């Protein structure tokens, strides 16, 4: 029994090169997308820690003398909202970095 002979024509060679280029391009795109998501996750995690530290400091030390209690509570609540906001975004971008081929929803507006 004879083995069929495979002929590598220019057309087939061009198709192979195009397929390899497409796969490499997709892989590079996913690598870049993952790096961007990791950078965003690190940024939001850092912001979350800063707002957590500020809220904790305010809870421990209380209002300073020229600050009214109402203003103090307003600022403290705002710090906690910002902490929660950045925590959600940090988790969102962490998941996006793990699965960079999936679409990512737009960021919600920051709290007022």
Q: How confident is the model over 62-111, as pLDDT tens digits?
A: 777 777 888 888 888 999 999 999 999 999 999 999 999 999 999 999 99
Pinpoint the alpha helices (H) of 1-112.
10-61, 69-98
Are the CB atoms for 85 and 111 separated by under 8 Å? yes
Q: Quickly tell me which residue has 């081929």 as its tokens.
A: 101
* pLDDT score recorded for residue 7: 87
What is the per-residue burial (b if ≥16 Cβ within 10 Å, else e) of 23-56? eeeeeeeeeeebeebbebbeebbebbeebbebbe
């Amino acid at each position: 029994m004879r083995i069929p002979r495979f002929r590598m024509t220019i057309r087939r060679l061009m198709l192979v090169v195009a397929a390899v280029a497409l796969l490499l391009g997709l892989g590079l795109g996913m690598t870049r997308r993952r790096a961007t998501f990791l950078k965003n996750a690190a940024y939001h995690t850092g912001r979350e820690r800063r707002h957590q530290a500020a809220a904790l400091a305010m809870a421990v030390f209380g209002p300073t003398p020229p600050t009214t209690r109402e203003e103090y509570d307003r600022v403290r609540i705002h710090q906690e909202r910002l902490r929660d906001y950045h925590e959600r975004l940090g988790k969102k971008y962490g998941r996006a970095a793990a699965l960079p081929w999936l679409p990512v929803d737009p960021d919600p507006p920051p709290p007022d």
